[in-house]
Amino acid sequence: MLANTRPAELYRHSLRLLLDKDIDAWVGLWAEDGVMEFPFAPPGRPRRLEGKGAVADYMRDYPDHVDLHGFPDLRIHETADAATIVAEMRGVGRVVKGGGPFEMTYIAVVTVRGGRFAVYRDYWNPLVLQQSGLDFAGSSAS
């Protein structure tokens, strides 16, 4: 993506990459010093990832656990800070192991710098992991 890419465009592009299971390209949208936070992470799960490498490690095996089919109900809200958006959505698909349904509601607060994700706060419901039987390190679809 280009340095002048608007945050909403970057975010929509990132969702397409997740649906395509192109985790390398998704990680490529991150700033080297980007930070991903999970304010609602349960004990034993990461609350903060610092740097593109940590994000890559976290997301590397995501497609082996969740087969995403879509992000219905996507709403992107611009904020007073042109570099920051708030995204609301659902991620739907299936759990790879066992084939059960996967559905997660997300709210993400995302700040973009130089056309790359700089800060990404991912608010998701950790109870869905238990209900879906997911137990891997990576859990975020956004």
The answer on pLDDT for 137 being more than 80 is no
The answer on pLDDT for 132 being more than 90 is no
Mean pLDDT of 129-142: 52
Instruction: Return the percentage of the chain with pLDDT > 70, whole number.
Output: 88
pLDDT at 134: 58
Domains of the chain: 7-132 (3.10.450.50)
Please give the model's pTM, rounded to 2 decimal places: 0.88
Average per-residue pLDDT in the chain? 90
The secondary structure of the chain as a DSSP string is --TT--HHHHHHHHHHHHHTT-HHHHHTTEEEEEEEE-TTPPTTS-SEEESHHHHHHHHTTHHHHEEEEE-TT-EEEE-SSTTEEEEEEEEEEEETTT--EEEEEEEEEEEEETTEEEEEEEEE-HHHHHHHT--SS-----
pLDDT at 4: 77
Mean pLDDT of 62-86: 95
Q: Would strands 66-70 and 84-95 be described as parallel, antiparallel, or unpaired?
A: antiparallel
Contacts of 137 (CB under 8 A, 6+ apart): 45, 46, 58, 61
Mean pLDDT of 15-23: 97
Mean pLDDT of 9-27: 97
Note the pLDDT tens digit of each residue in 76-118. 999 999 999 999 999 999 999 888 899 999 999 999 999 999 9
